[in-house]
Structure 1
C-alpha cells in the first residue's frame, strides 16, 4: 500500500514535480494549466494556477535549489516560472524554435540550463541570456528520426540521455561553451563537443523508448520500451562494445517511466498500474524483486463465490432466439466483465471466473496480474493503489545514491508516495517471473 494517496484530479495527471522540501507540488491535470498545491494539515490546497500555455502541458520540473519551475506544452512553447516577492509566479519566455509539440522537460543538475524534447525530432538545450532576459535554445537534431519522449541528465551536467520513438535510447553531449566547465573523462568519453553521440542502444523488439534514466554515478543507463522491455547498459567508452547489456522481457504490460533508487536498484512503472523494483549488477544480471504496492497482492485473494442457483423455471423462461443468452454471448460477456475467457457455464462448481476445472486459468489474473504484484484478482478487479496507467515516477525522499521513497502520478488523477523498502515479495509468483528473459 502507498504511504500517501492524494486524489488531486478526477481526470489524468500528465506530470508532477515537488519543490525541495516537498511542501508544494505542481501538477498538470491534462489541460493547458498547471496547478500548484500546498500541503496543509487538512490536505492539499490549491494555491496557484499557471495558465500561460495555450495547449496541453506535457512536462513540469521544479528546480530544488533555485525554486524555479519550467513547463513545456503542445503549443510548442516552454516557460520558466519565478516566484516574485509578492507571491506571484511570473513566466519568462523561452525561444525553443520548434514546429511541433514539446513533449518533456528537465532541469540540469546545476539548474543553469534545461532540456526540452519535442515531436520535431529536436532536443532544445536552453540556457539563459541576461542581456535579453530570455532563455535561448541550441538544437540537437541528428541522428534523431522520430518524436523524443523522455530525457534524463547525467550528474556531470553535460551528458543527456534521450528516449525516442525511433526505438533508440541515446546519450548526447549537451556541452555549452561559457556555461559548462569541461567534464572529467568518463566511460562516455573525454572530448564532448555539443551534439556528440556518446552511446546508442535499441529495444529488443522494436518498441518505443518511453523512459530513460542514469544511475547515481552516471556510469549506467537504463531504459524501458513499449515492447515490455527493460534494458540496462554498462558502457566502456565511445565506439567500443559495452561491458554488459542486460535485457529483461516482461510478460506484463509495458513500463513507461523509471528511476534509479540506488546504483543497483531501479523502480519502473507504467501500464501495469503499480511501481515495481528491479535489482542487479553488471556481472550477475538483473531481476524483478517486488512490487512496491502491497495493495497489488491480489494473487492470494480467493475467487468470488459462484452465484446462487436460480429458482426452478427461471432459467428456462429466458430462452428463445434473440435473447442474447447463448454460449458465445455468455463467453464474451464474462471476458468483458471478469477477465475470463471461459463461459460461466463451463466452470466447475465452486471454481471462480477464469479458472477451469483442471486448474488451468484463462484469466487476466494469471497471465498478467500474477507476474508483477498480481494486480488483477480472480474477481477481475484491479487491486492496485493506482487504478490506471502510471505516467510519472520520481524520487521523493532520501539522497540520489539511496532513495527511500518515490512519488507517482497517473491517469487516475492520483498522486501517491511509495516506500522503496515496503511492498510485496514476488516469491509466490515465480511462475510469472520465470518468463522474464535476460
Structure 2
C-alpha cells in the first residue's frame, strides 16, 4: 500500500489524532481548530468529515495534542492561552476549560503526559510549564520550569514514559531534561529532587536551533533534530538509578553516548522515535527519512521515503558556484534576473523540489494506532496530510544508504 495524501487545508501548522483514530484535529494556520471524523474503508483508505470548529483562541494555534487516556483535546496558541476541550453530548459540541499559564509570551507547543493527568506547554518566554487540574476551581493551573534554565524559546516538549521527566527543545541549541513530578497530580508524597530540577543538558553539534525531540519507547534514548541538518541520538539513559543517583546535569552528560548523524540535505523539523532501531525524521526535504543504528554503535540515515527527491538525491552546486552564477547573471536566487540577460527565468540553485507526496516542508509527525494499516502520519505547509503504511517501517533496513 502506498502513502495516502489528503488535502485538507491550504496549510497545516499542527495536528493530532485521537487514541483510536476516530477523530482528527488540525489547525489550518489560523486561530481556529477543525475537528474531523475519520473513517476507514475496506481498502484501508481514510476519509474525513468535518464535524466541528473550535474558535476560542484569537491568535495562531501553535500546538495540538490528544490525550491517550481521557480523550481530551489540548490546544495552545500565540495568544498565551491553552484550553482543554471535552466532547459534549454530541460530537459536534466541544466544551473548553481555560488553563492559567501565567505567560507573557506565546505558547508554542504542548503535550499530554503518558498517564493523562498533566500536560506541558513550551513558550516563547524561555520557559516551559507543567499544568494539572484543580477540581475546586474547575480549571487547569501551571507550575513553571525555573526561569533562566532556557536561554531562548522552548519549541518542543516531550514526556518520558515514566510520566515524571520532561524533555525540552530550545532555540538556544540545547535539549534538556527536567524533573516534572507534581504531588497534587501524581499522588507522590516525596520526590528525589525538587520540581524543575535540571537533570541533563545536551547541546546540538554546532549549537544550532533544536527543532524537535522524542523519547524512545523504553525511555533509554532521546533523539532530536537541529537546524544544522543533523540528527542527534542520546543513548545510555536506561541504566538503573541513572536519573536519581544524586549527581547533577553536567555529570550525567558525561555518562551518555551522543551520536550525531550529519544529513546531506536540508534540515529536519520534526522527529519520531518509532522503536529502538528506527528514528523517523522529516522537514525541509519534503519527505520523511529513517535513521537507524549501524555496526560499531553509529547511526546512519537512509533515503527519503515516498519517492522524495529533494537535496538528498540531487546534485547541488557549491556555494562558490552559486554565488558566481548569481554575480555573472546579475540575478537573485529563485530565478529573477535583474541583469536583463537572455536567461531571465534561470534558477541558480540546483536542488530540485521534492517529488514525494509532500511538495513543501513537513512540520509534524504523529504516530498512528497499531492495527490501522498505517504507522504514522505527516503534515506540512503544503496543507497535505499523508498516512504512511506499516510497510514503510518494515523495510527500513533495505533502504539504508551507507
Fold match, TM over 0.5?
A: yes
Distance 1:151 1:126 in 2: 13
1:19 corresponds to: 18
SS in 1 for 2:285: coil
| Distance in 2 between residues matched to 1:427 and 1:24, nearest whole Å | 34
Where does residue 162 of structure 1 map in the other structure?
Answer: 168
Would you say 1:60 and 2:30 are equivalent positions?
no
8 Å CA contact 2:3–2:357 kept in 1: the answer is no
2:365 corresponds to 1:406: no
**How much has 1:297 moved relative to structure 2?**
9.0
Tell me which residue corresponds to 2:263. Answer: 250
CA distances 1:225-268 after superposition (whole Å, capped 9, x unpaired): 11111111124534232341101122311111001111121000
Q: Which of 145, 149, 158 does residue 151 from structure 2 map onto?
A: 145
Deviations 1:182-235 (Å, cap 9, x if unpaired)? 599xxxxx9243111111011111211100111001011111111111111124
Greater mean alpha carbon deviation, residues 411-420 or residues 115-124: 411-420
1:334 Cα deviation from its structure 2 partner: 11
User: Which shifted more, 90-99 or 235-244?
Assistant: 235-244
State whether residues 212 and 223 of structure 1, in contact with CA within 8 Å, keep that contact through their aligned partners in structure 2: yes
Q: Does 1:388 align with 2:360?
A: yes
Q: Residue deviations 1:60-86, cap 9 Å, x none?
A: 001133110010000000000001124
Question: How far 1:181 sits from its partner (Å)?
Answer: 5.2
**Alpha carbons of structure 1 residues 300 and 178: separation in structure 2 relative to 1, 3 Å:** closer
Q: Which residue of 2 aligns with 1:133?
A: 138
CA shift in 2, pair 1:212/1:281, >3 Å:
farther
Structure 2 counterparts to residues 7-156 of structure 1, below 5 A: 7-10=7-10, 12-40=11-39, 43-87=47-91, 88-141=93-146, 142-156=148-162
Match of 1:6 in 2: 6
Deviation of 1:274 after TM superposition, in Å, equals 0.6
Q: How does 1:187-266 map to 2 (within 5 A)?
A: 191-236=192-237, 237=242, 238=247, 239-240=251-252, 241-266=254-279
SS in 1 for 2:9: coil
Q: Give the secondary-structure state (helix, strand or coil) at the position aligned to 2:266.
A: coil
- Rate the CA distance shift 1:133–1:3 in 2: closer, same or farther, 3 A: same
Q: CA RMSD in A?
A: 3.3
CA separation in 1, counterparts of 2:378 and 2:384? 8
Partner Cα distance (1:273, 1:39) in 2: 25
Q: CA deviation at 1:20?
A: 1.8
Deviation at 1:146, TM superposition (A): 0.8
Measured in 2, the distance between the counterparts of 1:333 and 1:16 equals 39
Q: 1:19 to 1:328 in 2, by over 3 A?
A: closer
Q: Which residue of 2 aligns with 1:306?
A: none
> C-alpha separation between the residues in 2 aligned to 1:392 and 1:291?
16
Q: TM-score, normalised by structure 2?
A: 0.82
Tell me the distance in 1 between the aligned counterparts of 2:2 and 2:285.
16
1:191–1:36 Cα change, 3 Å: same
Question: In structure 2, how many angstroms separate the alpha carbons of the residues matched to 1:282 and 1:117?
Answer: 36
Preserved CA contact (<8 Å) 1:298 1:383? no
Q: In the alignment, what sits opposite 2:320?
A: none
Conservation of the 8 A alpha-carbon contact between 1:386 and 1:410: yes
Q: Report the Cα offset of residue 272 of structure 1.
A: 0.8
- Partner SS state of residue 422, structure 1: helix
Quick check: which has more Rg, 1 or 2?
1
8 A Cα contact 1:292 1:418, kept in partner: no
Deviations 1:159-183 (A, max 9, x none): 0110001111000111101322559
The answer on whether the counterparts of 1:273 and 1:390 sit within 8 Å (CA) in structure 2 is yes
Unpaired runs of 5+ residues, structure 1, are 185-189, 302-326, 346-352, 355-361, 366-375, 434-438
Encode CA deviations 1:91-150: one digit per residue, 9 max, x unaligned.
Answer: 001000100000000000000000000001121100000000000000002411110000
Aligned equivalents of 1:344 and 1:250: distance in 2? 36
| Aligned positions of 1:359-374 closer than 5 A | 364-365=350-351
For the Cα contact (< 8 Å) 1:261–1:404, is it kept in 2? no
Contact 1:255 1:272 survives alignment (8 Å)? yes
SS in 2 for 1:382: coil
